[in-house]
Amino acid sequence: MSDTILEVVNASKHFGGLKAVDGVSFGVSRGEILGIAGPNGSGKSTLFNLITGVPFGPTSGEIRFQGQRIDRWPAHRIARSGLARTFQKDAEFPDLTARETLLVCGTYNGQLGRAAARSRSDEVLALVEFDGKRCDIPSRNLSVYEKKQLMIASALMSGPAVLMLDEPASGLTRPEIERLDALLVSVNASGLTVLLIEHVLSLLLSVSQRLVVLNQGSVLAQGNPADVVQNEDVIEAYLGGRKQ
């Protein structure tokens, strides 16, 4: 079996004359953390949309997951095949507890029976290091970091092979970002492949084995993170000027 679990091949999404994603290609190795960076509006979240089919697939190109072409599949089939994602905006059921939220996710997305969903929820809560004393309070009363933990746990309830995270560090303090760093490493060590969109470059550089940088819908650079951030085109895209 190939070590490439996910492959994006010349994927594009055009809205009339706007090329939101334009000819993007890269592969994701099984078991790695791949970081995706780029300025605002560079096409990062749209790329996640194309991979997962939520809310749309590519205009052209191919998405291949575990050897199968999935870019024409409906979104629910893609999710149940082993791809799970989170979104930039935190969303929770405010009146449900963390445990109840995961039972809903396990039943409706993970297609688990109640007993299996409860067992899975215990495993997932432990994996994201959620405080057991906070599992049974309404989600509206959770801290920002706890809501991030719950968001990741909800995605894990379907038992994915690939976890796609869209700016999970948004709104976190520096100590919380350090906790998230350790959490991502732990989740990855459990056997999950991770795709991580993030503006906090220190987090990307810490956890990513490889880095893909997008700019204006296209791949600007990709490779070893330490090398990519020294790329003059990347510096210009982020800072508006080249190294002197």
Q: Walk along the chain (244 residues) in steps of 10 and give the mean pLDDT of each run.
A: 89 95 98 96 97 96 97 95 92 92 88 90 96 95 96 95 97 97 97 97 96 96 95 86 54
- pLDDT for the residue numbered 242: 56
Q: Assess whether 68 and 171 both reside in one domain.
A: yes
- pLDDT for the residue numbered 1: 42
Q: Assess whether 57 and 173 both reside in one domain.
A: yes
Q: Which amino acid is at 36?
A: I
Last residue of a domain, one of 159, 182, 213: 159
Domain count, the chain: 2
Q: Assess whether 78 and 168 both reside in one domain.
A: yes
Range of the domain at 14: 1-82+160-244
Q: Assess whether 174 and 244 both reside in one domain.
A: yes
Residues with Cβ within 8 Å of 25's Cβ and at least 6 positions away in sequence, in order, are: 8, 9, 10, 11, 61, 219
SS3 200: coil
Which residue has tokens 């997305």? 109
- pLDDT for the residue numbered 89: 84
Last residue of a domain, one of 159, 187, 210: 159
Token reading at 224: 């070893």
- Bridge partners for 27 per DSSP: 7
- pLDDT for the residue numbered 91: 77
Composition of the chain by helix, strand, coil, percent to 5 = 40, 25, 35
- pLDDT for the residue numbered 112: 87
- Bridge partners for 35 per DSSP: 196, 211
Q: Assess whether 78 and 164 both reside in one domain.
A: yes
Instruction: Give the containing element (helix H, strand E) for 12.
Output: strand 4-15
Token reading at 107: 């039943």
Last residue of a domain, one of 117, 138, 159: 159
Q: Assess whether 114 and 75 both reside in one domain.
A: no
SS3 48: helix
- Bridge partners for 65 per DSSP: 6, 68
- pLDDT for the residue numbered 239: 65
Q: Assess whether 68 and 129 both reside in one domain.
A: no
- pLDDT for the residue numbered 138: 95
The span from the CA of 53 to the CA of 55, in Å, is 5
103 in Cβ contact with 96 (< 8 Å): no
- pLDDT for the residue numbered 243: 54
In 3D space, the residue among 104, 90, 103 whose CA is nearest the CA of residue 143 turns out to be 90
SS3 69: strand
Q: Assess whether 191 and 208 both reside in one domain.
A: yes
- Tell me the C-alpha to C-alpha distance, in Å, between residue 94 and each of 91, 140, 143, 153, 185: 9, 5, 12, 16, 28
Q: What is the edge-to-edge ordering of all strands in the sheet holding 60-65?
A: 18-29, 4-15, 60-65, 68-69
